[in-house]
Amino acid sequence: MTDLKNKTAVVTGGARDIGRAISLRLAAEGVKVCINYCHNEAAAQETLELIRRAGGEAMLFKADVTKAAEVKAMMAAAAERFGGKIDILVNNAGGIMGRKTIQEQDEAWYEALMDLNFKSCWLCTKEVLEYMDRGAIVNISSQAARDGGGPGSSIYACGKAAMLCHTRAMAKELGPRGIRVNAVCPGMINTYFHDTFTAPESRQALHRSAPLRREGEASEVADLVCYLISKNSSYLTGNGIDINGGCLFS
């Protein structure tokens, strides 16, 4: 793919795991990348250094993407650094935070998870439009949006499902402006997320039962994202594309 050279992108949660893989992949295609992070500055700096060593161009921006003022500042800074425009937005920030049954959940838990997994997507999409004239948005949803998630992850799953609905709504609203909006729904991907929140026996069971007999890699998700923002997918919008090794068909 060569049509991405000198495009500009904001990748939320771009410091590690899937976000890092996406940031690296886009930079390798010649995209100028704003890598968003919130807490893990060391990981963000490492990602930036990896891109620079490979000859790419990137910047870091610390922002809590559940806060409107911080999102607005991030988009303005990225546009200023990269020539006044943003061509690509990848809404990757999100997380499960922990596992709680509905009886263990409270309003603060609900609000934190929905803010992280859906409000962030809504805010970033809203604010990037000031700087996007034609372009592509990719939302990183989850297999949990399809099947309700694993035990104790109901609100996380609902937040990711909201991202899918927003993808379709924005595809309709923004299509006339030449902006395509798609989502990807990763299943079990070999990341810190599953190292932290998924029991080893559950991962081993997937290795035995998945049609491809393995977990996915973050780089494989990044390859799909790269395709969805390139001219090779120019007639795709409003889609939620599964990437789960055949564990779930939708």
Catalytic residue among 37, 110, 131, 156: 156
Distance CA 66, CA 185 (A): 21
Please answer whether residues 37 and 60 qualify as being in contact, where contact means their C-beta atoms are separated by less than 8 angstroms.
yes
DSSP conformation letters of the chain: --TTTT-EEEETT-SSHHHHHHHHHHHHTT-EEEEEESS-HHHHHHHHHHHHHTT--EEEEE--TTSHHHHHHHHHHHHHHTTS---EEEE----------TTT--HHHHHHHHIIIIIHHHHHHHHHTTT-SSEEEEEE--THHHH--STT-HHHHHHHHHHHHHHHHHHHHHGGGTEEEEEEEE-SBSSHHHHHHS-HHHHHHHHHHSTTSS-B-HHHHHHHHHHHHSGGGTT--S-EEEESTTS---
156 is catalytic: yes
Q: Which residues are catalytic?
A: 156
